[in-house]
Amino acid sequence: MKIKNNLTKGIICILISGLGFSLMALFVKLSGDLPAMQKSFFRNFIVTIVAFFPFIKNFKKISYPKIKFDWFILFLRVFFGTLGIVCNFYAISHISLADSTVIQRLYPFIVLFLSFIFFKENISKLGILAILLSFSGVLFIIKPSFDNILSIGSIMALCGAFCSGAAYTALRRLGIKGISPEFIVFAFSIFSCISLIPFILINFVSMTFYQLILLILVGIFAAIGQFGITYAYKFAAAKSIAVFDYFQILFSGILGYIFFTEIPDVYSLFGYITIVLMGILLAYKKDK
């Protein structure tokens, strides 16, 4: 009964996470033509405030990096994590919510590839096939042609997925070394805010009160999404709730249709299905 109860909690948390991240993306898009770095700063500033409390609460129990290489890995995590958010926010503002969300879901396959390259982790034939099919699915979504090889929004979405994959690969390494999640999250949030300040000062765009409220909501729902997925995988194994993780695509598609009348064509739908199926297949094949 306890296992079933925890599974239910995990499903609820991951659905809340998907809705949180979908609403975050919605408010990013609704905030208008503001610089992506300015939007990212507000997102990270709110998350920093939220992350500060668990960091202080567990301060005496926190495990920090002990060697220079682990500090370097931490730097890679926060650098690529920050760059990934900026790229993703730019993509959200220039392509449909569903397209940007699905392309972002490539990051697990990038983690698989980078872990093989840098950490010599085994990659199965199924993993190779999943990577190839997933990237072919992206081609159906972005539909490159000779006249327009790739749109800027699609390129930024792909860059965001790669940066997220690199960040999560570094995060896995830090997890193996036993570095405390509270420290990693807080370090990432602080670094993101500080590193974005110079760009904001150079290219700051004045905001209306409406836009300010939207960016605050971006940060709030980003925090809800992050905590939701953290608790989801605490309650249940990835293979048990993986299929529900992809409800974020459904939420984004519904919100995109309601607010922006975004309707995916047949090719995009085929690309969505390909990426989702490959992701679920890998999650069920090996629970990580």
Read off the tokens for 135: 């990237």
CB 102 within 8 A of CB 271: yes
Nearest partner of 201 among 34, 32, 38, judged by Cα: 38
Q: What pLDDT sits at residue 2?
A: 47
Question: Higher confidence at residue 275 or residue 280?
Answer: 275
Q: How confident is the model at residue 288 (pLDDT cuts 50, 70, 90)?
A: very low
> What one-character DSSP code corresponds to residue 95?
S
Q: Which of 35-49, 137-151, 250-264 has the lowest mean pLDDT?
A: 137-151
Tokens standing for residue 7: 């599974």
Domain residue limits, the chain: 2-285
Cα distances (Å, whole numbers) of residue 245 to 51, 114, 201, 248: 23, 22, 37, 6
Report the pLDDT value the prediction gives residue 163, as an integer from 0 to 100.
94
The most confident of 16-25, 172-181, 225-234, by mean pLDDT: 16-25
- Tell me the CB-side half-sphere exposure of residue 38, using CA atoms within 13 A: 19
Give the pLDDT confidence score for residue 146 in this predicted structure.
46
Supply the pLDDT for residue 92.
93
Residue 83 has pLDDT above 90, yes or no: yes
> Following DSSP, what letter does each residue of 235-256 receive, concatenated?
HS-HHHHHHHHTHHHHHHHHHH
Report the pLDDT value the prediction gives residue 121, as an integer from 0 to 100.
Answer: 75
Q: Using one digit for the tens of pLDDT, what is the confidence trace for 193-213?
A: 999 999 988 989 999 999 999
Record the tokens describing residue 71, joined without a space: 């500090």
* Confidence band for 9, pLDDT divided at 50, 70 and 90: confident
Are the C-beta atoms of residues 262 and 97 closer than 8 Å to each other?
Answer: yes
CA atoms within 13 A on the CB side of 166: 19
Q: What is the pLDDT of residue 20?
A: 93
Report residue 45's pLDDT band, with 50, 70 and 90 as the boundaries.
very high
For the segment 250-272, the average pLDDT, to the nearest whole number, is: 89
Res 149 pLDDT > 70: no
Residue pLDDT, tens place only, 164-196: 989 988 888 888 888 888 888 889 889 999 999
- What is the arithmetic mean of pLDDT over 91-96? 90
Residue pLDDT, tens place only, 247-260: 888 899 899 999 99
